[in-house]
A and B are shown apart, each in its own frame.
Chain A
């Protein structure tokens, strides 16, 4: 799995490309989120739109990082998950806890309108 990072103002976007199930990828993702959280940001958007597959371990690491970031005052947001992954998130009851938006741009729009 590839991870690409972009920053827009005080929001970092991490785009996950490929499959998230192998322990190596899970470790890399954890490290990438940790590193991103060390910079001065308001939110971390995990762009799932290019993620084709994820197992429960992958979802688990995202949940763990959500909790860690929340404790640091940073919001972790899911963006653009494909149907299968969206179903997993929903099935786990996480949609009520972790904000999930249709696309990364959707988060910015909402955040701006909320901030204003």
Chain B
């Protein structure tokens, strides 16, 4: 058990104020820290000063609950924030622990009171109260600012999202409109060329990805002339495409009424300048070809001159002409156009084009130019028109080396008289003007067959006659592609046909060596009955009214009369 001396030593060793008191709160012993806190001296203690006299606080006076409580219960009692005054009347805020020490003194019950002075802390708090307050206010302001900032960010994000959504919708609508414009433009291009016995066509359109203003058309006029139209609207996009579509309609309208390309240009120019206020204008070339004598009346409106390759002489001719832009309002009053005439021989070739091809550049920014295009026409003249165009495009691509095109371009190639010689032994004369179809592959058979069957159907042939026609034309076409041309895709099958209400005639020429049609075995003979081949020509002979071959055996001509017409 601790003696009073031991406790006094303990109290001395504490760094915080401490004292030993009796049950009546008499100070029996204090350390220096206590004296300093209570502002008393050793003398006061020796005089028998009570704790309640130097530390005035309710807890020390009201029945001395603190010490007596601790002593009676023999438990340490702890009090926080005891407000007291010392002997000098100074304010103190104290924490007090009262530890009972039963038996430490033989004379009376004693306890140790250990104090912690919280005054300084309170003073600091008081001193910096304003600062704390300001800091709190600043922090609140900062938090408020942050909240507002977040709200603004959210609000702006919402607005941005909404704007993005609207932009996306608008872009989607715009894309759809552009796509629609492209579709309209594509729909305006001729799907199939009219069958002209002695003129072959091929065309190519090279887009830039934007909706362009190039358009062309090939049609037959009421007078039987072949109208070749190519034009290029300035600018790009939907407006250029709309002007193009409208111009095409106008040309078609005047082609039905007028026979002079220059007059047609004047009328279209007048209409566009008077009716439509637009910054767009167009360059154009219109030629009306008479297939009887291979002449062409044409007019040119500031359009690149078509290039003619004369087969017999190997010379180049540029189809020049005078005429200003069509639809240019500033030039409306002075725009005049002139008709000119060109003559062609069999084998001559004409290349119509828009300036996108000549204005294309290579990586060194050098334009392709007209001279190079002329050279390509010369270089590829011996090829078929479609192969010739493919060759030109290959060479053009090799020149530009992937440099993006500034403008889309169109190429349209015509060759005269190439199929005239093919009429020999067909049963048709030049004056019969049969329709001409050409194809190279098995895959094209059904499409070409459908064109002929449509005409047969239109002329009132019966369902059974159409069925047998379908069978026979298929048989002949399959023979031409597989046996005649040996499935060589570079070889062509040329078909002449004519249908009227009484009869239809189909003449098919392949590029093979021919075969001996008289040596074919009869598939109905017993020895041949179960052979898998040899029935095709048998069906043709059975269903058609007349079947003829040329001497070489690479042309078959079939005739079928309409039964009801007989």
- The stretch of B316-324, B498-506, B532-540 in contact with A is B532-540
* A48 → chain B closest CB, angstroms: 14
Size of the B side of the interface (Cβ < 8 Å), in residues, is 21
Set A23, A64, A88, A93: member contacting B532, Cβ < 8 A: A64
A56 touches B475 (CB 8 A): yes
* A52 → chain B closest CB, angstroms: 10
Interface mask (B447-485 → A, CB under 8 Å = 1, otherwise 0): 000000000000000001001101100110010000000
Task: Tell me whether B152 is interfacial, beta carbon within 8 Å.
Answer: no
Task: Tell me whether B166 is interfacial, beta carbon within 8 Å.
Answer: no
B471 touches A88 (CB 8 A): yes
Within 8 A of B (CB), among A66-91: 66-67, 83-84, 88, 91
Task: Tell me whether A61 is interfacial, beta carbon within 8 Å.
Answer: yes
B464 touches A83 (CB 8 A): yes
A84 touches B467 (CB 8 A): yes
Within 8 A of B (CB), among A22-61: 22-23, 53, 55-57, 59-61
Task: Tell me whether A6 is interfacial, beta carbon within 8 Å.
Answer: no
A61 touches B524 (CB 8 A): no
A91 touches B478 (CB 8 A): no
- A-side contacts of B532, CB under 8 Å: 60-61, 63-64
Task: Tell me whether B95 is interfacial, beta carbon within 8 Å.
Answer: no
A56 touches B535 (CB 8 A): yes
Task: Tell me whether A92 is interfacial, beta carbon within 8 Å.
Answer: yes
B471 touches A59 (CB 8 A): no
* A93 → chain B closest CB, angstroms: 4
A91 touches B529 (CB 8 A): no
A93 touches B464 (CB 8 A): no
Query: Is the contact region of chain A dominated by helix, strand, or loop, or is it mixed?
Result: helix
Task: Tell me whether B398 is interfacial, beta carbon within 8 Å.
Answer: no
Task: Tell me whether B73 is interfacial, beta carbon within 8 Å.
Answer: no
Name the CB-closest residue of A to B533.
Answer: A60
Task: Tell me whether B43 is interfacial, beta carbon within 8 Å.
Answer: no
Name the CB-closest residue of B to A66.
Answer: B530
A22 touches B442 (CB 8 A): yes
* B529 → chain A closest CB, angstroms: 6
- A-side contacts of B531, CB under 8 Å: 60, 63
- B-side contacts of A55, CB under 8 Å: 471, 474-475, 478, 536
A92 touches B471 (CB 8 A): no
Set A22, A60, A64, A67: member contacting B535, Cβ < 8 A: A60
A91 touches B539 (CB 8 A): yes
B529 touches A84 (CB 8 A): no
Among A56, A59, A60, chain B packs the most CB atoms within 10 A around the CB of A56
Among A55, A59, A64, A84, chain B packs the most CB atoms within 10 A around the CB of A55
* A3 → chain B closest CB, angstroms: 18
Task: Tell me whether A111 is interfacial, beta carbon within 8 Å.
Answer: no
